[in-house]
Structure 1
Amino acid sequence: MQSFLQITTFSLLIFFYSLSLSIPTQASFDRTIEDEEVQVLGLNFKKEKLTHFKFYWHDIVGGPRPTSVKVVNPPRKSTTAFGVMNMIDNPLTEGPKLGSKLVGRAQGFYASACQTDVGLLMAMNFGFVEGKYNGSTITVLGRNMVFNKVREMPVIGGSGLFRFARGYVQARTYTFNLKNGDATVQYDCYVMHY
C-alpha cells in the first residue's frame, strides 16, 4: 500500500510539473497586436486620411460667465505675466460670432511660460459635440507666441475617431478686447487619423 501511495504521489508531482511547463508565461508587459485585433479596435492603418477643421475659439475672461479662469498668479510682477495659468472650457463655434453654431469645447489650460515675450504653453482637448465627430477629441500641446500673426502648435493625439491622431493647428487672432481681455481666435486644424 505504501508503494502504491508513493507511486501515485510521484505521478501526480510529475503531472503537475509538466502542466506548469505547458502554461505560457508572459516575458514582458508588451505584445504586438495582430491585424485581426486592429480591425476589432476600429482602426484601418491602410486608410489614413487628412481632415481640415476650421472653427473659432472663444476665450471669455470677463463678465458674469467666464470660460477662462485664472488659477495661478505669478509670484512676482512681470511684463509678460510669466507664471499666470488659466483653466479653460472655451466654446468652439462654426463662425466667428459667439452665437454661431457650437461644434465643440476647448478644455484644458494655458500658462504664460516665457519671461521675455508673451508666450503661452497651451494644453487642451478639442472635444467635439457635432455630427459624426460627437464625443471624439483632438489633443493640442504646444507653444503659442500670442503676438505672432500665425501660431502653429502640434496635435499630439486624440480619442474616438481621432485615435492615433497627429497633425498641427494654426491659430490666428480674430478679435481681442483690450478692456476685458476676451479673445476670439480662428483655429485651422489639420489632423491625420484613421
Structure 2
Amino acid sequence: MALTLTKLFLFSFLVSSTVLTARSELLTSKREKLTHFRVYVQDKIAGSNATVVTVAQASTTNQSATSFGLVRVFDDALTVGPEMSSKNVGVVQGMAAFASQSEMALSMSLNFVFTAGKYNGSSLTVVGRNMLSLKVREMPIVGGTGLFRLARGYVQTSTYSLDLKNGLVVLVYDFSVYHSLLTVSLG
C-alpha cells in the first residue's frame, strides 16, 4: 500500500511538473513581449484645477504624523516628458490611502489609460504599496487591456519635481511589462 501511494505521488509530481513547465514556457514564449517605457504624471495637488481631491479622512488624521486614514482620488495627465507642455498620452486615475501609522506609506490603485500614441486604447493597472520615504518605489503591474492584455510586471516611480508654491508634483513611472501578443477577433 505504501509503495503504491509513493508511486502515485511520484506520478502526480511528474505530471504536474510537466504541466507547470509547459505553462511557464507558454508565458515566456513568442506569445508575449517585454516592453519598457517611461511616462510622466502631472499631479496637481492644489488650486482651482487640482487633479487630486480628498474624499475621506479619519477623525484622527489631522493628529497623525503620517496622515493615517487620509484617502485621495486622482485624475492626472500622463505626458511623454516632465514638462506640463509635453505631449499628453493619457491619464492616470485611481486612489491613494495613507495606510501606515508609523511611516509615510500609501496603498495605491492606479489605472494608466492611454489615449494617444502607440498604446492608444490600452490600459495598465498597478496596485501596491508606495513607500514615500524611498527615492525609487516599486509596485506590481496586475493587469491590462488592449495591447497590454494579460499584463504582468512592475513599475518603478520617483518624484521628478515638487513645486509646492504652484501645487504641482511631477512623477516619473518606468514600466517593465510582459503582455500578450495574441489578439482576439470577435467578428
Verify same fold: TM over 0.5: yes
2:154 to 160, 168, 189: 168
Q: Tell me if the contact between 2:47 and 2:167 (Cα under 8 Å) persists in the aligned partners.
A: no
Q: Tell me if the contact between 2:38 and 2:80 (Cα under 8 Å) persists in the aligned partners.
A: yes
Deviation track 1:51-93 (CA, whole Å, cap 9, x = no partner) reads: 1110111111111111111101232121110111111111111
Unaligned residue ranges in structure 2 (runs of 5+) = 1-28, 181-187
- After TM superposition, the runs of 4+ consecutive aligned structure 1 residues lying more than 2 A away are 177-182
Greater per-residue strand proportion = 2
Q: Which residue type is aligned with residue 38 of structure 2? A: K
Q: Which residue type is aligned with residue 79 of structure 2? A: T
- How many corresponding residue pairs? 150
1:61 to 35, 45, 50: 45
TM-score by structure 2 length?
Answer: 0.76
Identity of aligned residues (%): 51
**What pairs with 1:18-167 in structure 2 (closer than 5 Å)?**
46-76=30-60, 77-167=63-153
Deviation at 1:117, TM superposition (A): 0.9
Unaligned residue ranges in structure 1 (runs of 5+) = 1-44
Let me know the Cα RMSD of the aligned residues.
Answer: 1.4
Q: Secondary structure at the match of 1:98?
A: coil
Deviation at 1:182, TM superposition (A): 3.0
